[in-house]
Amino acid sequence: MSEDLRFAERIAVVTGAASGIGRTVAHHFAERGARVVGVDLMDQVEEVMAELPGSGHRGIRKDLTSPDAASQVMQVVQEEAGTPHILVNSAGIALLDPATEVPAERWQATIDVNLSASFYMAQAAGRLMLEAGYGRIINLASQAAVVGLDQHAAYCASKAAIVGLTRVLSLEWARRGVTVNAVSPTVVETPLGLKAWAGEKGERAKAQIPVGRFAQPEEVAALIAFLASDQAAMITGENVLIDGGFTSV
């Protein structure tokens, strides 16, 4: 394995780390030597982090939609591990409704989890990274950030906002050693993704993707790891699509 894509002595904070893409990302970094702090609302986050390769990993159960939660998480990270080098904002939800039927509470929940929580975490981590003069922040957006999807009004809005936020943070922080990028996958074959896109619905969706399949969690994790590496120091403010050509059609 290239030394440039190893993360020994690096501290990586991953949100949504108890399941799905976040769990795969946490494992990917741990396997390559990073000390991982996983944050999730699910109780099993501590158990999941304890099962990662290596040692020194930590699970924190926290509702990141609270404005104070991110600073509390970063205080724990700094006290127990040190200044974080990497933040991956992977926590997210998808609540689907026709645009005319979106309840206010489901709209607000989507914005709170997908956008606000990511901002609070980036803000809290960014303060520490800027002081240290180094940092890598990767925000999970979606192909839904750049195309319209049926019944995805709240989701598309939240992910498009993530891309806009990423560009602002990258502009403000680039000269102080902190890069900020977004990653936008198509449907990813996590357990939840496989369930949501099973059967004929999934086959129709795959047929619209030029490569003819959905993305694998490890493919997304590998892209995130590259953006978190020193090899990607010149890449910031980008929204990197990993969608098998879907948005190019």
Query: Quick check: 125 and 84 in contact, CB under 8 A?
Result: yes
Find the length of the chain.
Answer: 249
For 92, which DSSP code?
-
Q: Determine whether 155 is an active site residue.
A: yes
- Active-site hit among 120, 155, 173, 246: 155
Burial class (CB in 10 A: 0-12, 13-18, 19+), 55: exposed
In the three-class reduction of DSSP (H, G, I as helix; E, B as strand; rest coil), residue 208 is classed as coil
| Backbone torsion region of residue 16, taken as left when φ is above 0, otherwise alpha when ψ lies between -120 and 50, otherwise beta | left
Residue whose entry in the numeric block shows the structure tokens 């086959």:
203
Tokens of 218: 């490890």
Burial class (CB in 10 A: 0-12, 13-18, 19+), 200: exposed
Known catalytic residues are 155
